[in-house]
Amino acid sequence: MNQKHKTITDSVSRLISELSKLPGIGPKSAQRLAYYLLRASEEEAGNLAEAISAIKTNTRLCSVCYNIADDQKCPVCSSTTREPGIICVVEQPQDILALEHVGIFEGVYHVLHGAIAPSDGIGINNIRIKELIKRIENGKISEVIIATNPTTEGETTALYLYRLISPMGIHVTRLARGLPFGTELEYADDVTLCRALEGRQDF
Amino acid sequence: MSCPREYQTEAVIIRKMRLGEADRIITLYTPFYGKLQAVAKAVCKPKSKLSGHLELLAYSQVTLARGKKLDTIIGSQTINSFLPLRKDLNITSCGLYLAELVNLFTAEADNIDNHHLFYLLVNTLERLSQGANSHSCLRYFEIQLLEQAGYRPQLKVCSSCHTPLKPVINTFCPATGGIICPRCSFKETVSYSISVNGLKVFRLFQDCDMSTALRLKLTGELNTELEGLIRNYCYYILEREIKSCVWLDNLK
């Protein structure tokens, strides 16, 4: 009789199953990570477990911009050197990291946590548009920079925000779109080339 | 004889889904292979040569490599990106609605030739981007889509007793797949009244070409009537809501 034996313990199998739920981690990578953690020191594994646990217990959304924060306000919103009258609207908290890495933006942010995607059922009530409008109404805002992704969903969100905010008499701008650094012109698509030509600048 | 490993096709991008860090699963609607799903690698990275040519609603020439489960997109060149459509919120939303309709009404299968539906989609997107009346465009598209998908409603005779319809207020019944006369209407529990003018437009859009349909400017009332009827019929066929409708209603 061909009887199938259990080859891995329940705890290892559970760890592999949990790790393979992470984005970009397949069953083989999960297995490799699980066996690495088995071999690692207790301290190393403990640190990882503690970091994962802390990310859920110690973080929250900033009450002003909805970025990830340790306290009620994120570091950008609690900073005294930032210009609170200029809001840069982004789709995800990761977008703030990319913009902050450049280090030239002095204003503050607002994270929508998504973009309008009608065919996926994501509308204005599923992302933080109402909170943005409330923030604009209550504060002295001089400019709103819409930095949603240059995708169809991002553009739809940008056009909708422009429709909502521009009647309030606030200067609404959109991040310039053009050719990414290091690419070749011949591979550019029509929309990018059109926007790059429209947004050309003097030397 | 085995199929060639690579093949090319025209396609409209009707849906995109995340796959891992920077990949996407793209749903393409093609004229001779029907609806296809394919993987586009690294399209979220800024230096991707494919990403701009694979944006939602783009009409592109796509090269695919056959895979075990999903094919992989290895090349893409835009044929028409419908530029004006991307600058107007209402028209973009109409385009997304068309893409969702095509996605819902078509099945993924090998080599289903439906070039009529493909060119209907391309022409409608083209007309929308040229500034044609969006109400007429959408209603014409919906009625033609129903025909291409095999759900052409019966509009000439009563779909219950088969007697010719009279120019009076009749009833549209999704269950019988068409109009029913006032005498039969009591038999059906779910039905919607249709005006004489509504029925005339419905019949015209079923049989005319797009240019003729777009010459007709639908009044708000007539458009609302036809929109409601078609939505109810689509809901009956699909047994689910069309998500983009909520967004289109939001914009009104």
Note whether residue A183 is domain-resident.
yes
Q: How many A×B Cβ pairs under 8 Å?
A: 77
pLDDT beyond 80 at A86 = yes
List pLDDT tens digits, range A39-61. 999 999 999 999 999 888 888 99
User: From the candidates A155, A175, A190, which should be mutated to test the interface with B, based on the most B CB atoms within 10 A?
Assistant: A190
Q: What pLDDT does residue B3 have?
A: 72
CA quadruple A24, A26, A32, A35: dihedral positive or negative? positive
CA distance B193 to chain A (A): 29
Identify the domain containing residue B61 by its residue range.
Answer: 6-81
- Residue A1: per-residue pLDDT: 46
pLDDT at B114: 85
> Around Cβ A134, how many Cβ atoms within 10 Å?
11
Give the mean pLDDT per block of 10 residues along chain B (252 residues).
82 90 90 92 84 90 92 93 90 94 87 87 95 92 93 90 88 90 81 89 92 88 92 93 91 84
Please count the structural domains in chain B: 2
3-class secondary structure per residue, B70-101: CEEEEEEEEEECCHHHHHCHHHHHHHHHHHHH
Q: Residue B94's pLDDT is what? A: 95
**Distance, CA of B2 to chain centre:** 34
A74 shares its domain with A159: yes
Co-location of B91 and B208 in the same domain:
yes
Starting at the earlier edge strand, list the strands of the sheet with A171-174: A107-111, A83-90, A143-146, A171-174
Residue B219 has a pLDDT of 85
B234 plus B163 within the same structural domain: yes
Split into its structural domains, chain A has a count of: 2
A137 by Cβ neighbours in 10 Å (0-12 / 13-18 / 19+) ranks as: exposed
Sign of CA pseudo-dihedral B234, B235, B241, B246: positive
Is any Cβ of chain A less than 8 angstroms from the Cβ of B103?
A: yes
- Distance CA(B39)–CA(B98), nearest Å, equals 22
With CA atoms as reference, the chain B residue closest to A25 would be B20
| Containing structural domain, residue A27 | 10-57
Q: What is the pLDDT of residue B110?
A: 63
Q: Please indicate if any CB of chain A lies within 8 Å of the CB of B84.
A: no
The beta strand positions in chain B, using DSSP E, are 6-19, 23-30, 34-40, 59-65, 71-80, 170-173, 178-180, 192-194
The answer to whether residue A30 sits within a structural domain is: yes
In this prediction the ipTM stands at: 0.83
Query: What average pLDDT does this structure show over A142-163?
Result: 93
| pLDDT at residue A3 is higher than 60 | no
User: Is residue B93 domain-shared with residue B76, that is, in the same domain?
Assistant: no
Indicate the pLDDT class of residue A16, thresholds 50, 70 and 90: very high
pLDDT attached to residue B182? 87
Structure confidence at residue B92 (pLDDT): 93
Q: In Å, how far is A160's CA from the nearest CA of chain B? A: 7
Range in A30-34, A53-57, A91-95, A191-195 the model is least confident about: A191-195
Q: How far is CA A27 from the centre of its chain?
A: 26
Q: For B12, which DSSP code?
A: E
Q: Would you state the pLDDT for residue A179?
A: 80
For residues A90 and A180, membership in a common domain is answered with yes
DSSP H/E element including B199: helix B196-207
pTM: 0.86
The phi-psi region of residue B162 (left if phi > 0; otherwise alpha if psi is between -120 and 50; otherwise beta) is left
According to DSSP, residue A187 is labeled G
Token readout for B111 is: 């080599």
